[in-house]
Amino acid sequence: MKKIFLIGECMIELKAQSAISSTTPQTYPKAINQSFAGDVLNTAVYLKRTFSDLEPYFISAVGTDKLSTEMIAFFDQEKINTEFVFRSKEKNAGLYAIETDEVGERSFTYWRENSAAKDVMSFIDEKVVNCISAGDMVFFSGISLAVIKPADRAKFWLFIKQLKDLGAKLVFDPNYRARMWQNPQEAKEQFEQAFICADITLPGIDDFEQLYGITTAEAVFEFCQPYQFDELVIKNGEASICVYINELAYHFQIKAVANVIDTTSAGDSFNGVYLGARAKGFDLEQAINLASKAAGFVIQHHGAIVEQGAYQAFIKEQYI
């Protein structure tokens, strides 16, 4: 069974049951659903749900509180390996609230100052490095980088370079969130290190637009020319996917979704299904097609992680 290691943070998600409306006033107290989510965790969930014979390992830290224990139970329920989900005695899981408007666009409020995931590097030792390096793929994101406390970033990059030297295939999704960085320059410096190390990079054009002022796939490709990516997969929302492999360019049109309810996890679900498909040996067109369909399905549902039965029914229709 192929092993995919994913480094990141899972948070407690609070979501209002109804969308924000400009015409209907909000009543209080309002109903809230509580669940668990995070960009890298979402990627792991959709990878495993789509390809049950792959084994994703989540690398993170949580607390010893009841909600952290329930979070780990959720990972187990989703069949995500928790061997490297460490327990902090001092900190707890982070929390965020999400609301969507009538067209599915999101707004977030975060409480992650005491998140145990910030200290994940304190749990990484030589034994952990050797275990992870034996896997088939290691994935991390721009949010993974932002969460790690600045004092531990040098240790993180040493960890990543050790994995690369030991033969691990490294995958990076920039997933830029401005509020998580002190300033854009700090993010650029960390992303530069990631671009140097990554074998596969999965940027969204919106990430590059916010951080670098780059607005087209062609310009993203030019920006990435100094780096040695095996695969560069550029996501442009519902417009298209552009892929560059071995100096060849591939352009895929994406069928637009009419009934967008919640765009949360569109990129995460694409990442999970795409990486799983490539690990399974799917060719490029097959992987892009399935990943795009999965993202299109996810954004027609509320929340980062779609109800399992509904997603499995969707996957069954794809003959996986």
> Per-residue pLDDT tens for 270-311?
999 999 999 999 999 999 999 999 999 999 988 789 999 999
Q: C-alpha angle 90/35/147, rounded to 5°?
A: 45
Share of the chain above pLDDT 70, in %: 94
**For 140-144, 148-152, 270-274, 299-303, which range has the lowest pLDDT when averaged over its residues?**
299-303
pLDDT tier for residue 30 given thresholds of 50, 70 and 90: confident
**Dist. CA 156–CA 145, nearest whole Å:** 9
| Residue 20, pLDDT score | 56
| pLDDT tens-place string over residues 228-261 | 999 999 998 777 999 999 889 999 988 888 888 8
pTM (global) more than 0.85: yes
| Residue 318, pLDDT score | 87
Section 205-209 average pLDDT: 95
Q: How far are the Cα atoms of 38, 111, 183, 219 from residue 239, in angstroms, in the given order?
A: 25, 33, 30, 16
Q: Which of 39, 207, 262, 268 is catalytic?
A: 268
- Between 296 and 17, the more confident residue is 296
Q: Which of 295, 301, 297 is nearest to 240 (CA)?
A: 295
| pLDDT tens-place string over residues 64-93 | 999 999 999 999 999 999 999 999 999 999
Domains of the chain: 3-226 (3.40.1190.20)
| Residue 25, pLDDT score | 62
**Dist. CA 64–CA 76, nearest whole Å:** 16
| pLDDT tens-place string over residues 192-206 | 999 999 999 999 999
**Dist. CA 45–CA 76, nearest whole Å:** 11
**Could you tell me if 61 and 90 are in contact, meaning their C-beta atoms sit under 8 angstroms apart?**
no
> 76 catalytic, yes or no?
no
Q: What is the Rg, in whole angstroms, of the alpha carbon atoms belonging to the chain?
A: 19
Q: Is the bond preceding 29 in cis, omega lying within 30 degrees of 0? A: yes
Mean residue pLDDT across the chain: 92
Q: Which of 229, 232, 294 is nearest to 267 (CA)?
A: 294
| Residue 239, pLDDT score | 78
The helices-and-strands tally (H runs, E runs) of the chain is 11, 13
Residue 13 has pLDDT above 80, yes or no: yes
| Residue 267, pLDDT score | 94
